[in-house]
Amino acid sequence: MKKLFKKITVFLAAVFSLAAFSACYNPNTDSVSVLTSFYPVYLITQRITSGTDINIQNMARPQTGCLHDYQLTTLDMRLLSSAQVLIINGAGMEHSFIEKAVGETGINVIDSSEGLFDESGINEEHEEHFHSDEEGHDHNHETNSHLWMSLDMVSVQAQNICSGLKEIYPQYSEIMDKNTQLFINDVNSLKELEKSNQTSGDFNVISFNEAFHYILEENGAKITSEIEIDENTTPTARQMAQISDSAEELNVKAIFCADDNGRIFAETIGRELNIPVYVLDPLTYTVSSDDYIAAMKNNILTISEAKSK
Ligand SMILES: [Zn+2]
C-alpha cells in the first residue's frame, strides 16, 4: 500500500510539474499588445510599463537564452501577427529572423540599440576598450550585442524603448517617463557601486561567455581570452590549451562563466591552473533574479569578490 501510494505521489508530482511548466509559458495570442524579443528586453520593458495596462509578452521561450542564431517558430509567427509592436535588443542580436518577422507580418519594431553605434556617443568609448588589449594580433571588430550587460548602454536602451512606446501609447507618457527615470536612477546607483571595482592594478580575467564583455570591462577587468560556448559549440582541445597557456603567461586572476555549458570548461581550466571560477548571470533567462537591477548588483558584487582575492 505504501509502495502504491508512493507511486501515485510520484505520478501526481510529475503531472503537477508538467502543469506548472505549461503555466510558466502559456502565451496568449489574443491579448498580446507589446512583444519583446527575449528576456533582457522583457525585463527592461516591464520596468517602463509598470502601472500601465499595456500587456507585454516575451516572444522567445524563457529557456532560449540569447537569440544569436534564432529561427522563428509557428507560435512566434502567431505572436508577431497579433502584436502591435515588437521591441528588439538590436545591434545584431535578432539578425537571423528580424527581416522575416517584419516582412511576413508587417509588425512595427522598436530598436532599443538606436543611436548606440553611431559615429558619436558611447560606442567610441567602448571601441577604445576593444583596442586597449590589442597586442599585435588581429582583433574582432564585430559588435558585441549584449548591450544590456553595460550600465552605460542599458540606460539608452530604456530611453529608446520609452520613446517608442510613447508614440503608440501617448496616454501613458507621463507614467512611462517617470518609470524610465526611476530605472535610470537605479542604474546610476549601480554605477556608483562599480566605481570601487575600477581601481588601478591589473585584473586579467578569462570569460567563458561573450555576454560578460561589457560588465567585466566596466568593472576594470581586462579580458585576455573570451570564448562563447553554447549547446552546439564546445571549445576544441587546442583552444583549451591556448587559453590555459595564455592564462599562465598573463597572470590571470579569475575565470568567469555562466551557469551553463561553459561552466564545466571554466572549471576544468580553473582546477588545472588553480584560478578561482565565478558564475555571473547573463540575464538571458531567469537565473538569479527576475529583476534587472538585483541581478546586475549580484554580478557587480561577484566581480568585487573576485577582485579582492
Ligand atoms: Zn549571447
How remote is the CA of residue 185 from the centroid of ligand 1, in Å? 26
For range 255-261, the mean pLDDT: 93
C-alpha span between 189 and 181 (Å, rounded):
12
Q: Do 212 and 169 reside in the same domain of the chain? A: no
Q: Do 184 and 200 reside in the same domain of the chain? A: no
How remote is the CA of residue 66 from the centroid of ligand 1, in Å? 5
Burial of 191 (0-12, 13-18, 19+ CB in 10 A): middle
Q: Do 260 and 281 reside in the same domain of the chain? A: yes
pLDDT for 135 equals: 40
Q: Do 181 and 205 reside in the same domain of the chain? A: no
- More confident: 250 or 285: 250
- Amino acid type, 100: K
Q: Do 50 and 177 reside in the same domain of the chain? A: yes
How remote is the CA of residue 116 from the centroid of ligand 1, in Å? 18
Question: Given a cut of 50, is residue 164 above it in pLDDT?
Answer: yes
How remote is the CA of residue 256 from the centroid of ligand 1, in Å? 14
For range 283-290, the mean pLDDT: 76
How remote is the CA of residue 288 from the centroid of ligand 1, in Å? 17
Res. 36 pLDDT band, cuts 50 70 90: very high
How remote is the CA of residue 204 from the centroid of ligand 1, in Å? 21
C-alpha span between 261 and 139 (Å, rounded):
25
Q: Do 179 and 211 reside in the same domain of the chain? A: no
Domain that holds residue 208: 196-308
In the numeric block, which cell numbers belong to residue 143?
559588435
pLDDT for 26 equals: 55
Question: Given a cut of 90, is residue 136 above it in pLDDT?
Answer: no
Range with the poorest average pLDDT among 28-37, 216-225, 241-250: 28-37
Does this model's pTM top 0.95? My answer is no
Question: Given a cut of 60, is residue 244 above it in pLDDT?
Answer: yes
Q: Do 31 and 166 reside in the same domain of the chain? A: yes
pLDDT for 255 equals: 97
Question: Given a cut of 90, is residue 43 above it in pLDDT?
Answer: yes
Q: Do 251 and 157 reside in the same domain of the chain? A: no
CA distances from 58 to 43, 115, 136 (A): 9, 24, 43
The mean of the pLDDT values for the chain is 86
128 found inside a domain: no
C-alpha span between 2 and 240 (Å, rounded):
52
The CA angle 267-300-282, to the nearest 5 degrees, is 60
Res. 261 pLDDT band, cuts 50 70 90: confident
How remote is the CA of residue 172 from the centroid of ligand 1, in Å? 32
Question: Given a cut of 80, is residue 1 above it in pLDDT?
Answer: no
How remote is the CA of residue 69 from the centroid of ligand 1, in Å? 10
Q: Do 85 and 146 reside in the same domain of the chain? A: yes
